[in-house]
Amino acid sequence: MQRTASQTVGPFFLDALIHAGDAIINKPGAAGETISIAGSVFDGEGNPVADAFLEVYQADSTGRYVADSREARAGMCFSGFGRAATDQFGQFRFDTILPGGIQRAGSAADAPHLDVMVFARGLLKPLVTRIYFHGNAANATDPVLLQVQPNRRHTLEARRVQSAEKENWQLDVRLQGKDETVFFDF
């Protein structure tokens, strides 16, 4: 059947799509190392994008996706899915746990990462990207990072920021221009 076409989310989605707690993925009971991931979204002139939202989706600390595993589904306290709008400075933040790497038969493991979709006014369809963790040994053999030009890989790797409370990671999303984020063909 003919698919329904995509259209922009526009500027007025906030009350409909963003609810308190949507950006907190590590619900009580979720096993793993607690982390936060924050960053800003910028446009092609380096201006913050204050009317975007990000959806992230990730495996649990053992590398399983809740939707793919009956046991995980049954005791679901970790959906692996979160949504966060950007604020007036273009900033977003998620609280979650460090995902595990994903082992698949017949191919190299995907290093720990979050899948990301970016929605905004001016985006007629979502931009699809990933957030990896800089310094993770598995990045060196990750099949997706390996296909990205070495000088652009840093746009997919969050950096650790010093903090006493817990592990905080930082990665900006640049929609266009210098240091443009690597996006996948959706």
Q: Which residues contribute to the site for another protein (CB under 8 A)? A: 1-17, 19, 43-45, 47, 49, 51, 55, 57, 65-68, 73, 76, 79-81, 102, 104-105, 107, 110, 115, 117, 119-128, 130, 143-144, 147-148, 152, 175-177, 180-186
To another protein, the closest distance from the beta carbon of 166 in angstroms equals: 23
**Residue 53 interface partner, choices another protein, Fe ion, none, CB cut-off 5-8 Å depending on type:** none
User: What are the respective helix, strand and coil percentages of the chain, to the nearest 5?
Assistant: 15, 35, 50
| Alpha-carbon gap, residue 12 to 22, rounded angstroms | 17
- Exposure of 11 in the CB half-sphere (CA atoms within 13 A): 4
Q: Is 55 left (phi over 0), alpha (psi -120 to 50) or beta?
A: beta
Stretch that binds Fe ion, among 3-11, 41-49, 65-73, 84-92 (CB under 5 A): 3-11
| Alpha-carbon gap, residue 169 to 41, rounded angstroms | 15
Would you say 8 or 79 has its CB closer to Fe ion? 8
Would you say 10 or 160 has its CB closer to another protein? 10
**Residue 65 interface partner, choices another protein, Fe ion, none, CB cut-off 5-8 Å depending on type:** another protein
Q: Within 5-24, which residues bind Fe ion (CB under 5 A)? A: 10
Exposure letters 119-138 (e unless 16+ CB within 10 A, then b): bbeebeebbebbbbbeebeb
Footprint on this chain of Fe ion (rule: CB under 5 A): 10
